[in-house]
Structure 1
Amino acid sequence: MSALTVVLALLAALSNASASVFQRRAAAEERAHGVGARGALRLFAHLLRRPYWLAGSLLLLASTVLQAAALAGGSLSLVQPLLTAELLFTLAVGSVVFGHRPDRRTWLAFSALAAGLALFLGTAAPSGARTTASPGRWLLAGAVAVGVVAALALPARTVAGAPRAALLGLASAVSFACTAALLKEVMGRLSQGVGAVLQQWPPYATVVAGVTAFLLLQGALRAGTLAASQPALTLGDALASVALGWALFQEHIALGVRIVPELIGVTLIGLGSVGLARAPSVSGAWDTPRQPSEEAKRP
């Protein structure tokens, strides 16, 4: 496990968390702009004038660069689970941006998540055998991924609020995991030369998957609070990435006697995520800007 890979992945998680908080801040301040494609275009035009939304977009770009650097030297099964730390960074950054201090219950939930992540990665020791995957593996994995995203995104149109945010967050997670896998494929082919890589399909498939993930993320952020979308987004990304790493790049995690602490780690991650979703300080209006009190408004 490379220390540089871990640092780059954690910096990518910090950028992702800041991007989600900033864009949620911008989305929360926007009124409804109608439904359908026209309403979405009007909303997008308004968001382009929001400094928080633009800052979030730039941070997403920075996160992609950091993630690509991490994937160039580490396995998909290591880098993407590390991005679960995004939940921790979301709490810290969101507390500053929205002006709501987390309570003890929230910190305990995040402590459980952090401990579970460290325990799982420390005992599982994810490793990879390949830097690229065969076309046949990509065809099968791509078909399954498209089916999963469609199965999550289509039902989301029939619900509202937290269920919609969770479904779109999970669909976005699978799309982000596919983007990361494609990005690893691109980085693995760079030895052929940039010009040769640009004549192949992976860079363009990466863009399509990334744009899809980005649009689904915007829908999740607009549909409900971070408490509904963020656990599904980060944990779904980690689990989907482990599956893709195994299916595409023949990555594996240590099992045998290590499966016991691994399961304990996964359990702690799950408990921490559930605790986050139920914690008073991250439910309701936690991720909406704090309004000044009437006394503060008086001259």
Structure 2
Amino acid sequence: MISVLFAVLTAFSNGTASVLQRRAALNVPDSEAMRLSLFGHLMRQKVWLAGIGLVIVAALCQAVALATGPIAVVQPIFVIELPATLVVAGFVMRVGVPRQVWYGVAAVTLGLALGMAAAAPVGGSEDVQGAAWIPALVATGIFEAALIATALGTSGDLRAALLGLAAACGYALTAALMKDAMSRLDADGVAGLLTAWQLYATAVAGVGALFLLQNALQAGSLVAVQPMLTLGDALISITYGVTLFGEELRSGWWLLPQVAGAALIAVGCVVLARSPLAAVNAAPPRVE
């Protein structure tokens, strides 16, 4: 129960952070895309710094959630980040939240509840056994490189979506590394945590994911980024949970309600993507 509570807090913190970071990214010229100087432009904006503050809060909440529950339970809850983002955007942008958005919120929430109840992730270890990280990191690196290379050959919302998925993969990896690092804290105390390579890899993966997210938000609309970011994070995290931590999901006829839940989430995301509120967050033309 504690893990679920902190996962929900993480989702709302990240959703609010995305809105604030999106507002800041609108003021960055396209010429700064995929450059470290992008952070220089962003750091001069108070709204972006506020967003980063919420990212830190979200990271702390996520650490508690992962330390107290399976990754296949914690990360999928972040699906609610998408509706949370749009609802928060309505208040921040001072635009009324239409009924269509609430329908989308209901679909995503019900889909998540149905899918999680049917999947019922159980078991698994608190840490990654043996050298299992090696093939996982290699596969992740190849996947990320392919997404980034493809994104660089595109523009607009397509680039934003691809970079959003790359960021999602980075955040899922960050979560898996964080959970593995937190297991060292439980086993060996603070000294074990500080000497674990997973702790420092978590920081590297997190900064890389943040860099990709800023470029995704700068490249296109929020509605192009957020579905890929939210759904991608959940699905890739489940994959890490099953392959790295040995967590198990129900199979057999339980797959039917799992698919139904995923379908509800997909429908909810489409409804939210087509809402007038999502259009408010589209990027205006920028001056080079």
1:126 alignment counterpart: 121
2:211 alignment counterpart: 215
SS of 1:159 mapped into structure 2: coil
SS of 1:133 mapped into structure 2: coil
Cα separation, partners in 2 of 1:255 and 1:60, compared to 1, 3 Å: same
C-alpha distance in 2 between matches for 1:169 and 1:19: 15
Q: Given the alignment, which residue of 73, 81, 103 partners 2:98?
A: 103
Residue identity matched to 1:129: G
C-alpha distance in 1 between matches for 2:215 and 2:51: 15
Q: Is the 8 A contact 1:33 1:40 kept in 2?
A: no
Deviation of 1:287 after TM superposition, in Å, equals: 5.5
Deviation of 1:154 after TM superposition, in Å, equals: 1.2
C-alpha distance in 1 between matches for 2:258 and 2:30: 46
2:223 alignment counterpart: 227
1:239 alignment counterpart: 235
Q: Is the 8 A contact 2:95 2:277 kept in 1?
A: yes
2:75 alignment counterpart: 80
C-alpha distance in 2 between matches for 1:52 and 1:267: 35
Which deviates more, 131-140 or 95-104?
A: 95-104
Q: Is the 8 A contact 1:25 1:288 kept in 2?
A: no
SS of 1:127 mapped into structure 2: coil
Deviation of 1:149 after TM superposition, in Å, equals: 0.9
Runs of 4+ in 1 over 6 A off after TM superposition: none
Cα separation, partners in 2 of 1:247 and 1:31, compared to 1, 3 Å: closer
Q: Is the 8 A contact 1:152 1:167 kept in 2?
A: yes
C-alpha distance in 2 between matches for 1:276 and 1:265: 16
C-alpha distance in 2 between matches for 1:102 and 1:161: 26
Deviation of 1:220 after TM superposition, in Å, equals: 0.7
Q: Given the alignment, which residue of 25, 28, 47 partners 1:27?
A: 25
Larger CA Rg, structure 1 vs 2? 1
Q: Given the alignment, which residue of 192, 200, 203 partners 2:199?
A: 203
Deviations 1:156-180 (CA, angstroms, capped at 9, x unpaired): 1111111011000000001100000
1:4 alignment counterpart: 2
The reply on whether 1:273 has 2:269 as its aligned counterpart is yes
> Identical aligned pairs, as a percentage?
43
Q: Between Structure 1 and Structure 2, how many residues are aligned?
A: 283
Structure 2: stretches of 5+ with no match in the other structure: none
| TM-score for the superposition, normalised by structure 1 | 0.90
Two-structure CA RMSD over aligned residues (Å): 1.7
C-alpha distance in 2 between matches for 1:155 and 1:128: 37
C-alpha distance in 2 between matches for 1:196 and 1:118: 36
SS of 2:96 mapped into structure 1: coil
Residue identity matched to 2:114: L
Cα separation, partners in 2 of 1:45 and 1:140, compared to 1, 3 Å: same
Residue identity matched to 1:262: Q
Residue identity matched to 2:183: G
SS of 1:193 mapped into structure 2: helix
SS of 1:101 mapped into structure 2: coil
Q: Is the 8 A contact 1:106 1:282 kept in 2?
A: no
